[in-house]
Structure 1
Amino acid sequence: MIKSMTGYGRYVSHDQKRQITIEVKTVNHRYLDISCKIPRELYPYENELKKQMKGQLKRGRVDVYISCAGEQLTDKKMQVDWDVFEQYLNNINALQEKGNVQGSLSIEHILSMEDLFYIEEPDHLDEQLFEIIKNGLQKALEQVVEMRTVEGEAIQKDFHSRIRLLKSYTAQLEEHAKSMETQQFNSLKEKLETMLDGKGIDDERIVQEAAIQIEKADIAEELTRLHSHMDQFIETVKKNDSIGRKLDFIAQELLREVNTIASKSILSEVSRIAVEMKSEIEKIKEQVQNIE
């Protein structure tokens, strides 16, 4: 079953301390490109979170947003740098002795000392809290995959419909190809007779010229390859894998064969059918761009 690359998932976890919101958005992209906008406390875990996402998603631009309201993810503690404080005191005492400075040190003076206080943060999250985040991310990813699957099913139906139409057009081309030799012969004969003002001309010469022209206009090989590419396209769609780039290649080959047929065309009806086929293939190529 094919999947699209467009999806969205959201999960909210909350308790008495905090609320954690996780959002995952995915759109088209040639490769798998993951961008995380997360609290700084989660920076050490970013690679692990990306690994979790890579297990679910194979292709597309992925934007992940994790936010926290309420208490922070880690318990921050304010600490005093006692070495710095001791240096302050030593220097103050030295100033008083050498400069005969009088006065006492107040709490206001202490609070104004630079680099005396600093915030200490744990270098890791509480294990239970990180499990909550990973489980929440998994829930959001499941929503994304479900959305991508539903859209993929709709695209797959559209593919089958368009391939059936292309096969119908190909069958029409095959019918025209059968009568092309006779029409080419008669057309060339009329042109030669017109050029010779109605004078007779050897049919053997016409046959030779017609054979050359018919060989140039023969579309049998292109028709055979069209059938092969269409069958390969349908078989690829059935695979449960990342198939977007392969489908894009096959669609390009379909378009190449139809363009060749159009360039060889000697019949207006064949040209018309080729135009219709190119229109259908372009629509397939547009849809393929959103396949994982």
Structure 2
Amino acid sequence: MAVSMTGFGTSAVPIGQATIHIEMKTVNHRYSDIMLRMPGAFHSAEHAVRKHIAAGISRGKIDVFMSIEGILPSSKKVYVDWELLADYLNVAEKMDRMEMFTPALSAESFILHSDVVHVTENPQLGEEWQDALLSGIQQALDAVVVMRAHEGLALTQDLQDRLFLLEDFTKQLEARVPSIVEGYRSRLEQRLKEVDTANLPNEDQLYREVILFAEKISIAEEITRLYAHIKQFSYILNEQTAVGRKLDFLLQEMNREMNTIGSKASDAASSHIVVDMKSELEKMREQVQNIE
């Protein structure tokens, strides 16, 4: 079954005193393009998030917005350079014996110096938070997949209906093949009479001329290939894989056959049928652009 590339899904996963919010939307794209917008705390999980999404969606432009609402666990750590602190304490002890400390110069100013004691911040959240994030990603992804499948059903039905129309138009062209040849025969006879009635070819010569031209303007092969493309299109439409590119290729092949038929079958009725076919084909191409 064809799957649409248009989808939308959200999720909200509570954890601790906070909630992880995720919004995911997808639109048509020639390849797979995943754009992530996440807080710095989740950057370490970026690879896992991308892998998770790629496992569920093979093609399309995917925008994912992640945010955290509430209170996050503290990620600050105190770092002490114990060796340097010991040196400072030795110096401070000597200075104290020398009574060098004053209100403006205290031992604390040495001990709490930023080279000795400083606070670092680890922006990465723990494994529990990453698990919650991936759970939210999966929930949003599931909603997107359901929507894409639902729209895919509608696209499949629309394409199948238009495929029936193309098949009917092809049958109409096929039925017109004898009249195309007969029409040429009649026009040829009329023109020969108008040119020189004394030098008209005999019936056998005229027949051979008509046969030669009929071979040149025959659209039998193009019609056969059109039937094959239509059958193949219908088959691929129901495959359980990404089929958008295959369908687009088949539509290009159908268009090529229609152009050839249009140039060969120059009678007005056949030209009108070809115009109608190309109109339906263009509508199908627009729909196929949104299929995964």
Q: Does TM, normalized by the shorter one, top 0.5?
A: yes
Residues 40 and 123 in structure 2, CA contact (< 8 A), matched pair in contact too: no
Deviations 1:269-292 (A, max 9, x none): 000000000010111111111001
- Bigger mean CA offset, 146-155 vs 131-140: 131-140
Partner-residue secondary structure (3-state), 1:30: coil
Deviations 1:210-258 (A, max 9, x none): 2222111100000000100000000001111111100111111111111
Deviations 1:29-63 (A, max 9, x none): 11111111112222221111111112211111111
2:233 is matched with which residue?
233
Q: 1:43 to 1:194 in 2, by over 3 A?
A: same
1:121 is matched with which residue?
122
Residues 84 and 116 in structure 2, CA contact (< 8 A), matched pair in contact too: no
Partner-residue secondary structure (3-state), 2:56: coil
Distance 1:157 1:177 in 2: 31
Residues 193 and 201 in structure 1, CA contact (< 8 A), matched pair in contact too: no
Distance 1:88 1:29 in 2: 63
Distance 2:84 2:231 in 1: 79
1:193 is matched with which residue?
193
Partner-residue secondary structure (3-state), 2:266: coil
1:69 Cα offset (Å): 1.6
Unaligned 5+ runs, structure 1: none
Distance 1:16 1:86 in 2: 37
1:65 is matched with which residue?
65
- Is 2:220 aligned against 1:220? yes
> What amino acid maps onto 1:75 in structure 2?
S
Residues 167 and 227 in structure 1, CA contact (< 8 A), matched pair in contact too: yes
Q: 1:189 to 1:127 in 2, by over 3 A?
A: same
1:21 Cα offset (Å): 0.3
- Bigger mean CA offset, 136-145 vs 80-89: 80-89
Partner-residue secondary structure (3-state), 1:55: helix
Residues 33 and 60 in structure 2, CA contact (< 8 A), matched pair in contact too: yes
Residues 36 and 65 in structure 1, CA contact (< 8 A), matched pair in contact too: yes
Aligned residues: 284
Distance 1:179 1:29 in 2: 45
Deviations 1:142-190 (A, max 9, x none): 1101110111000011011101111111111011012222221111111
Give the TM-score normalised by the residue count of structure 2.
Answer: 0.87
RMSD: 2.8
Aligned residues with identical type, % of pairs: 35
Partner-residue secondary structure (3-state), 1:5: coil
1:202 Cα offset (Å): 2.4
1:181 is matched with which residue?
181
Unaligned 5+ runs, structure 2: none
Q: 1:109 to 1:101 in 2, by over 3 A?
A: closer
Deviations 1:68-114 (A, max 9, x none): 12223x53114255479759969x98xx9xxx998514979998968
- For residues 275-290 of structure 1, what are the structure 2 equivalents within 5 Å? 275-290=275-290
1:209 Cα offset (Å): 2.4
Q: 1:110 to 1:178 in 2, by over 3 A?
A: farther
Give the TM-score normalised by the residue count of structure 1.
Answer: 0.87
